[in-house]
Chain A
């Protein structure tokens, strides 16, 4: 059977792409397979684990619950888009310093969710971080390092100039 495709335009990390995409292809698979951006990880593929979290038009969403063609015209930021001019984003620095990752599988989704969470709550308590990050599952760290990383990143991100905040 011939695959049903649509043509779409999408901006990912500042780069514009025009692609012909199978209608049934998930945004997460499109980014990984068609654009080679394998930083977005695919875990449960039904919206439970949070590993594929990324930004579409400034909001953190689960890319396994969106069809790629639904992002036609959208501005997408993946984990690859966090680094600016060779410098890590404060969230990446903090994850590195606080041992916020072990195997790294959940890390991209964790960081994207954490950046989004801090937009709404720039100065959270530890309990608020735990609740705010509860949509992302990690099977290695016991979460302590992750919570520490988000708490460490919060003041650093607050200090960033708006234009370099990424979102």
Chain B
């Protein structure tokens, strides 16, 4: 058998899961979809002594609207996100980001909580969370903590979460109907981990950009918004020239590396191409959220 030996716990409620996690500390790992964790266990890169399986807990898999936000349970599957009519209507960018993850067999199993807590720099959901100004709620035996997207991610596979916490809920503010959005990925093969993922949210009033959010994932160890470029866009009239300049400036904030998939030069070039296209797309679909 490929994995090393471990114990598996299958709690039926969140309280039991939290006390198990608190008891076992860093010797335990939470498992939901397992689409990233199980490969590392199979290759024995990870050898947890215990796995706590959240799949038997009712009430962690939901997408609901409350006031002006969409609330998503931590064990909600990528496929739920990509097919949800609530998400399509109120924050379609998130559904697009979920639909870009791997293949259908992966999206049936993989969960939003798992992906965000895993914090893979090439993952698409962190890009969506940052672009949409989302929040993450974590729960432990000590209570609930809430993080803005910007506070949550620290770097490669590293987040603000403590070892006794479970990512229980994601909160996404409803995107106004008059906003424009874009989400795109660059992959060498359909369904591969993206070399690049770009999310844009834009609002325009009286022919001027009043709100711009731009996130680039897959290049830097930490997926972040490019705030300097956002500020460069605000107050300006949307135009091809502006979007070109903004895209070129985005490259200044990227530190790509070369590997077997692509050279650093190619990655940097494609940041310019993708950001420019994303800004244009967001501008072109202004007012189309929910349609």
Contacts and interface: CB of A to CB of B under 8 A. Distances in A.
Interface of A: 1, 3-4, 6, 22-26, 29, 45-47, 50, 53, 59-62, 64-67, 69-70, 72, 113, 116-117, 120, 130-132, 134-135
A47 B106 contact: yes
Nearest to A120: B104
Given A46-B43, A134-B191, A62 B4 contact: no
Contacts of B106: 47, 62, 135
Interface residues of B, number: 28
Contacts of A135: 102-106, 191
Nearest to A1: B5
Given A65-B109, A117-B104, A23 B43 contact: no
A24 B189 contact: no
B7 interface: yes
A104 to B, nearest CB: 20
B105 A113 contact: yes
A116 to B, nearest CB: 6
Interface stretch (B31-39, B131-139, B203-211): B31-39
Contacts of A59: 105, 108
Nearest to A48: B39
Contacts of B43: 46
B107 to A, nearest CB: 10
A65 B38 contact: yes
Nearest to A2: B5
A6 B34 CA distance: 19
Q: Which 3 A-B pairs have the closest CB atoms?
A: A135-B103, A46-B39, A134-B190
Contacts of B104: 60, 113, 116-117, 120, 132, 135
Interface in B167-213: 189-191
A23 B5 contact: yes
Interface in B1-33: 1-8, 10
A61 B104 CA distance: 8
A134 B4 CA distance: 31
B53 interface: yes
A160 B70 CA distance: 39
Given A46-B43, A47-B39, A65-B39, A25 B1 contact: yes
Contacts, number: 89
A61 B109 contact: yes
A45 B2 contact: yes
A26 B8 CA distance: 13
Contacts of B189: 134
Given A66-B34, A135-B191, A60 B108 contact: yes
B129 to A, nearest CB: 23
Nearest to A135: B103
Nearest to A25: B1
Contacts of A3: 5
Given A46-B43, A47-B35, A47-B39, A24 B5 contact: yes
Given A65-B38, A70-B55, A50 B105 contact: yes
B53 A70 contact: yes
24 contacts: A4-B5, A23-B5, A24-B5, A26-B38, A46-B39, A46-B42, A46-B43, A50-B103, A50-B105, A59-B105, A61-B105, A65-B34, A65-B38, A65-B109, A67-B51, A69-B8, A70-B34, A72-B10, A113-B103, A117-B104, A131-B190, A134-B190, A135-B102, A135-B191
